[in-house]
Each structure stands twice: as C-alpha cells, then as structure tokens.
Homo-oligomer: A and B are copies of this chain.
C-alpha cells in the first residue's frame, strides 16, 4: 500500500506537492510535475479513495434500492440509473428490499450512512409516517407509484393517466368487461394505488361498471402471481374480455394461464401490461403495454439527487413527471396490426 508520503519521499518533495500533482493543481512547474509523476509511476501509487472521502465528507456513491432485481423492470431501471450516475461520476450501490417494509425502513434510515451520499428508493410498503420519522439527513429521492405526504423529491410518471390510456385503448377496441390484475389487498385504505384508480376512472368515463369481482389482488408482482390471479379471475365468474395488469410480469403470468385454459389472446381475452420490459416484445403473443420512459426516470432521479448533493436545489420537494406512451402489440389487436 503506497501512499502520498512514500511518493513524496521518493521524489524528495512534500506530501502536498504530490497531492497537487495528483489533483492537477495549476501552479506546479512542468519540471516538478514530471519529477513527481515519475515517482508515482515507479511506485505504482493509487490514491486512497476512502481517505479522500473522509477528508472531503463525500463518497461519490449513491445507493439505489429497488424491491426486486428479479423483476426485469427494476433490473432495466437499475442499469439506466447506473449509466446516468456514471455521467455525473457517481457510483451506484445497489440494494433490494424485497418490497418489505422493514428493509425499506432500514435503507431509508441510512444504515449505510456515510458510505453513500444519497439514496434513490423505490418503495412498496413504506408509509408516510416512516418518511416523516426519518432521521438520516442525506438526500432521498423517491421513485414509483406510491405517493407520500412527506417533503421528498419524487419521480414518477402520471400513473393515473397512463392507466387510463391503457384502459381507454381496451375500450376503444371494443372491450366491455375489463379486469384489473395486481391490486394490493390493502388498496382500499391506501389512496395511492394510482393504476387501479386510473382503471376506475376510465371505466367510469366510458360508462362501464367497475365491478369489484373484476379486481384481483396479488401478493407480489411476479409472473407466478399473475398466473394465479388470472386463474382466480376465470374461476370466479363470467369471463372478462380484457385484462389490465399492474405490470408486465403479472401480464405474462396471465398469458400463461390463458394459454393453459385454451383461451385465445386477443380474440377471447385482450391483455395489457405495464412497464414495457424487453420480454413483453418477445412474448408468444407480444404484449401491449404502457411504456414509462425508463431513461428519463433514471436521468431525472440522478439529476435530482445530484442537485441536492450540490446544494443547487431549492428546499421545496420536486415532482418530476417523466413521459409514458402506449405500445400497442398483438395482445390487444392481434396480428392485424
């Protein structure tokens, strides 16, 4: 482990001079610069970032906590965040919370405080009161559908509008009995289930009944959950002619069950997902889906955090609304497209 001191000794100069060379300080004569550089090269010196961090009070690391890396949406998003952070010379420390409240709390309470300068969190179970009780002072940017009464930056597409867009598309293509897959059990008391709200609003606007029997809750948001939810829906009563899923993995699970039951998509049941993960494009029946602008989400989140870190952001919490669009594929309109 070679330090500035060793280099300084070798070059016969002071520690600070070496530091100046390393940091590209202006007022160093070319001769001196070269002399020091030679010593650096000879000894193979590498700056100790930990020491630098201690001294500077910042680490250049931001944490990203998502529910589940196994969900392609979050994996793809994480990739985008890593790239966006790299453009600001930040490194990303990745965590996954499993969507469990205790884990989310732990992360947002900064159990890795001082290792990371700030946090981007995509919460599932976290409550407003948890955020208000937060003692950690490092900047926090929230991602995703949940809405909070807490003074933190929040990046999320307009989920209600996006959901309405999807449901509208189903209505426009002649569907009348449109189910929602992937509600939370507790969504009744939560004001925040925006996609479900969008579904309700658009059905109302179309003059269609938002029958409770058409809403299926799931434990989590994976393919298996989707498959089970679809089965439950079919077993429950009269078949729907369309399904709007909370996300693409649930939709993929639904496709699986529909295939198993011999129902044709979209002829018997149309399916719309949400997230536009790469997998959806390649599904046997390519999936119509709402495509949030992942790059924009990642970029906005990182920009927001970087602004906070630089202190150039105001005190007001920011709300950013990245774009979204509907990607129409076979699962709603068939190969006729």
List of 10 A-B pairs having minimum Cβ-Cβ separation, nearest first: A284-B284, A75-B75, A94-B94, A69-B79, A49-B114, A223-B282, A48-B114, A50-B54, A69-B75, A256-B282
A75 to B74, CA, bound (A): 9
- Which of A92, A95, A278 counts the most B-chain CB atoms under 10 A from its CB? A278
Give 1 or 0 for each of A90-128: 1 = CB within 8 Å of chain B CB.
011111100000000000001011110000000000000
User: In the complex, which residues of chain B have a beta carbon less than 8 angstroms from the beta carbon of A259?
Assistant: 284
A110 CA to B51 CA in the complex, in Å? Answer: 16
What B residues does A227 contact at CB under 8 A? 282
Q: List 8 A-B contacts (CB under 8 A).
A: A46-B113, A49-B113, A68-B79, A91-B93, A223-B282, A256-B282, A259-B284, A283-B283
Q: Which residues of B contact A182 (CB under 8 A)?
A: none
CB of A135 closer than 8 Å to a CB of B: yes
Instruction: Give the distance to chain B from A46, nearest Cβ to Cβ, in Å.
Output: 5
Are A70 and B282 in contact, with the CB atoms below 8 A? Answer: no
A136 to B283, CA, bound (A): 44
A219 within 8 A of B: no
Contact residue among B70, B82, B93, B278 (Cβ-Cβ distance under 8 Å from A222): B278
Residues of B within 8 A of A44 (CB): 135
Give the distance in Å from the alpha carbon of A332 to the alpha carbon of B46 in the complex: 54
Task: Using CB atoms and an 8 Å cutoff, list the residues of chain A in contact with chain B.
Answer: 1, 44, 46-51, 53-54, 57, 59, 61, 68-70, 72, 75-76, 78-79, 82, 91-96, 110, 112-115, 135-136, 222-223, 227, 252-253, 255-256, 259, 278-279, 281-285
B79 and A96 form a contact (CB under 8 A): yes
The answer to whether B95 touches A93 (Cβ under 8 A) is no
Given A282-B256, A284-B259: A82 in contact with B59 (beta carbons within 8 A): no
Inter-chain contacts of A75 with B (CB < 8 A): 69-70, 72, 75, 78
Residues in B whose Cβ lies below 8 Å from that of A255: 282, 284
Q: How far is the CA of A29 from the CA of B96 in the complex (A)?
A: 39
Q: How far is the CA of A57 from the CA of B68 in the complex (A)?
A: 32
Residues of B within 8 A of A96 (CB): 79, 82
Q: Tell me if B50 and A115 are in contact (CB < 8 A).
A: yes
**Is the beta-carbon distance between B91 and A112 smaller than 8 angstroms?**
yes
Contacts A50-B50, A135-B44, A278-B223; A61 near B93 (Cβ below 8 A): yes
